[in-house]
Amino acid sequence: MSTTPGTVLDGPALWPAQAHVPSVLGRQLVIEKGEGSYVVTSDGRRLFDGTAGLWHANVGHSRPELAQAAAEQMQCLETYHIFGRYANDQAVALAERLAAMSPISDSKVILNSGGSDAIDVACKLARRHWQRAGRTTKTVILSREYAYHGLHAFGTSIAGLDFNREGYGTESLVPETARVPLDDLDATTALIADIGADNIAALVTEPIQGTGGVHPPQEGYLQKLEDLCRTNDILLILDEVITGFGRTGCMFAAERYGVTPDLLTFAKGVTSGYAPLGGVLVSPQIWNPFYVDSADTPIFRHGATYAGHATASAVALRNLDILEEESLLQRVKHLETQLAEELTGLQARCAGVREVRFAGFLGGVSLVDGADATQVSDQLIEKGFISRPLRGNTLQISPPFITTDDELTDYLGAIEETVMEAVK
């Protein structure tokens, strides 16, 4: 017998993701076409994609080169699993290419289907590492306040956004997790001492927090966090699902900020969203024991049916080609300069803006209490632009790398106009 009060609403069979369902039914925008930095809805509206989908459409939408790569691969071999003795040539080629560009020297590559998968694997591998080493008390996974690491069991458990952990009958789906402050190293040091370094397996962090409100690290923060992990024998896991493959003007944010993690998770930009693919870059200290030539060598039980999917891997390889052929990392550096100048001016002119934050081609516009980011996002759609409300009453800015200077100016101009209307 249902205990849900009120009228049960009807709607399409597709259950909306991350949504208060009554608030979106009847208002959903059905995207049926993409054109470079734009998407087109089923009712004919052409919208500038100011969020690159969910941070992923880095090379733009509907690239024929990527469609061709997928079609050609499917006609040759759609996929074959990579369990045991088996592999497929595209997964092998992609892993070699990723290892060559990895900020972790001599890394191995675990492939899977996306960012949430990657986080689950990385956290499991961190715990497996210490169990194998006989340090069986090292099980706690630390993460930062406001962090988002996907919504699989581990990602849900280490979320720094409390609402993503609520409602499941326990404080953490996976036991032995804890949050550290956003950028307070002294408090982080104190928490490590309180929990005990001998009980902590790893610390997971985004180099630039995305969903938590676009928070770039303070100067030197990540390097000091790495030092803290090294001092306490805690593995550092860098979540580069958003920042990887050029979003910061470097292939990985680890390079931009001068840190070397033990594990690095990636997804989104590796295919620009054209195929579901993610993975983990693994440092030698972690992978070496699993490669020892001995009957007693342990097994790390990772892998899923679509890990190393041949078509997804072929698409990723072609996507990486495009990044290089079109010098898109250099383009990001140019766009970062323009974004910084225009956001700084926006904050100075617009009373509705509390704060702007940016790094690479990634920005957040935090609004005053009198302007609601959700309502502003809705009004932007009416003007032909897509943004997205994030934690802290913040608007997301992360367009495709192929965005023109004029398109960026128009987009930020629309944000300024809409915010000013909201606070009249």
List pLDDT tens digits, range 141-152. 999 999 999 999
Per-residue pLDDT tens over the stretch 332-350: 999 999 999 999 999 999 9
For 124-135, b where at least 16 C-beta lie within 10 A, e where not — what string?
Answer: bbbbbbbeeeee
**H-type alpha helices, 326-404:** 328-349, 373-383
All structural domains of the chain: 21-59+327-422 (3.90.1150.10), 66-325 (3.40.640.10)
What is the pLDDT at residue 1? 40
Q: How confident is the model at residue 312 (pLDDT cuts 50, 70, 90)?
A: very high
284: exposed, middle or buried (Cβ count in 10 Å: 0-12, 13-18, 19+): middle
Comparing C-alpha atoms, which of 70, 93, 41, 17 is closest to residue 274? 70
Per the CB < 8 A criterion, the answer to whether 189 and 229 are in contact is no
Comparing C-alpha atoms, which of 38, 79, 43, 146 is closest to residue 392? 146
∠ CA(408), CA(412), CA(416), 5° rounding?
165
What is the pLDDT at residue 417? 97
Residue with tokens 């191995």: 108
Give the Cα separation of 346 and 323 in Å (integer): 30
Whole-prediction pTM value? 0.96
Comparing C-alpha atoms, which of 13, 48, 8 is closest to residue 397? 48
Summary mean pLDDT of the chain:
97
